[in-house]
Amino acid sequence: MSSGALQPIRGMSDITAPEIFLWQQLESTARKVLSAYGITELRTPIVEQTAVFLRSLGDTTDVVQKEMYRFEDRGGRDLALRPEGTAGIIRHIAGAGQEAQDARVYYIGPMFRAERPAAGRRRQFHQLGVEAMGAASPAADVEMIALQAHLLESWGIRNFVMQVNTRGVGEDHAAVAEGLRDALKPHLSELCEDCQRRFEENPLRIVDCKNPQCREIVSGIPAVTSFMSQESRDYLDEVLQLLQHLEIPAVANPTLVRGLDYYAHTVWEVTHSGLGAQDALSGGGRYALKLGRGAYEGVGFAIGIERIVAVLMGQGIDPATLAQPPRVWLVAQGEAAVLENMILMQSLRLRGISAMMDLRGRSMKAQLRAANKAGCPFVVIRGDQEMEQGTFQLKDMQEGSQTELAMPELLERLLART
């Protein structure tokens, strides 16, 4: 708040308690689910050669053209902070041996895009993503969609909407653009300003324009899939059928568009009405991209963790309830007791019992208050009397009851209820 203080840069923020408890819970839940699918973590560097992103994302996309944090290092190398996770994974696979061609990996961590922040959009944001290489079949796509639904459900996300579409094989992309231009040409002047620009640059984007008049026009032209090959249409049908068999709650949406150039065949997106204009919780698809000498095909998705957190908070989850208060708070009266409590505290901690004490020499009342505020179930009181007798008062903070114990019994009691 004070202007003199250093603060994080725009669009990048500290994740603090209590929200961090929710983040940690999401991560540990996700790791369990992912292991059930035989998927292992792959941690790639946050910084890569810019070429990694240029080649895999396509150097005409906005993400690459104007949203990358790009810089030159001291050796004059052209580097960038990763704007998404797939490119780094593919870079790894391209450099690894033959067995990496069937990799099934996940990543979790920060991504960077130099955009103007808004609701659900940050310059540093976090994604959990999965990439499954090798198998190129509708079944592989459906497995990823199922996994995604599984993750969302395991986190307790309610009322998400999962939509599926196809972008068609690589050769279809040009045909779709051409077909759309032909169909839209008679209405060109009626389209919104943005769409008139998109007409040349990226006609596919017109299909999901939010402008009502554009929507009206789009609803009057043939579906995007009609410009695709039979192969592409059959592929999508198979995906949709499999989803039904697995009872995955996904619906076909022929106007669903996903931006990155590398998508081919199945694409999907999960949205939630509890978010702002950026209502996508996650998105994914099958992709084919070239890097170095190789061509790589895989299927994957990425989930925006900030948005998951936002939905859960909107559902009324209070992250503060996820805090783990210390099991016992040690209260001391007098310097000798402080020293002995330090020793006791250390030995409790070594046994795995979380313990805390006041280190500022405050009044007993203040120490109890701190214990209460922290939510400790137990307090051990070491006063002058107990020091003389070599005993401890063990206080149950919920009941308010208190018993005098010697060391062996005290340890027994504290360990017993862990």
Partner RNA sequence: GUGGGUGUAGCUCAGCUGGUUAGAGCGUCAGGUUGUGGUCCUGAAUGUCGCGGGUUCGAGUCCCGUCACUCACCCCA
- 390 contributes a contact to RNA by CB under 7 A: no
The residue within the footprint of RNA, chosen from 22, 34, 269, 296 (CB under 7 A), is 269
Of 21-29, 171-179, 236-244, 304-312, the segment contacting RNA by CB under 7 A is 304-312
The residue within the footprint of RNA, chosen from 282, 319, 330, 356 (CB under 7 A), is 282
- 134 contributes a contact to RNA by CB under 7 A: no
Q: Which 355-374 positions form the footprint of RNA (CB under 7 A)? A: 362-366, 368-373
In the complex, what is the shortest distance from the CB of residue 114 to RNA, in angstroms, rounded to a whole number?
8
| Binding footprint of RNA, residue count (CB under 7 A) | 72
**Cα separation, 129 vs 109, whole angstroms:** 9
- The candidate with the shortest Cα–Cα distance to 127, out of 338, 341, 283, is 283
Of 94-102, 108-116, 150-158, 244-252, the segment contacting RNA by CB under 7 A is 108-116
- Number of other residues whose CB lies within 10 A of the CB of residue 266: 26
- 343 contributes a contact to RNA by CB under 7 A: no
Q: Which 26-55 positions form the footprint of RNA (CB under 7 A)? A: none
In the complex, what is the shortest distance from the CB of residue 317 to RNA, in angstroms, rounded to a whole number?
18
- 385 contributes a contact to RNA by CB under 7 A: yes
- 288 contributes a contact to RNA by CB under 7 A: no
Q: Which 142-181 positions form the footprint of RNA (CB under 7 A)? A: none
The residue within the footprint of RNA, chosen from 333, 341, 348, 414 (CB under 7 A), is 333
- 141 contributes a contact to RNA by CB under 7 A: no
- 402 contributes a contact to RNA by CB under 7 A: yes
Looking at the Cβ atoms of 213 and 385, the one nearer to RNA is 385
Looking at the Cβ atoms of 74 and 289, the one nearer to RNA is 289
Looking at the Cβ atoms of 65 and 226, the one nearer to RNA is 65
Looking at the Cβ atoms of 151 and 281, the one nearer to RNA is 281
The residue within the footprint of RNA, chosen from 55, 82, 104, 198 (CB under 7 A), is 198
In the complex, what is the shortest distance from the CB of residue 75 to RNA, in angstroms, rounded to a whole number?
27
- The candidate with the shortest Cα–Cα distance to 314, out of 283, 280, 282, 273, is 273
Looking at the Cβ atoms of 48 and 238, the one nearer to RNA is 48
The residue within the footprint of RNA, chosen from 398, 408, 417, 418 (CB under 7 A), is 398
In the complex, what is the shortest distance from the CB of residue 193 to RNA, in angstroms, rounded to a whole number?
9
- 218 contributes a contact to RNA by CB under 7 A: no
The residue within the footprint of RNA, chosen from 400, 408, 416, 417 (CB under 7 A), is 400
- 300 contributes a contact to RNA by CB under 7 A: no
Angle of CA points 149, 154, 158, to nearest 5°? 70
- 127 contributes a contact to RNA by CB under 7 A: yes
The residue within the footprint of RNA, chosen from 55, 104, 286, 307 (CB under 7 A), is 307
The residue within the footprint of RNA, chosen from 109, 110, 259, 325 (CB under 7 A), is 259
β-sheet with 280-291: strand ranges across? 40-41, 104-112, 124-133, 294-304, 280-291, 263-271, 161-166, 250-252
Looking at the Cβ atoms of 161 and 280, the one nearer to RNA is 280
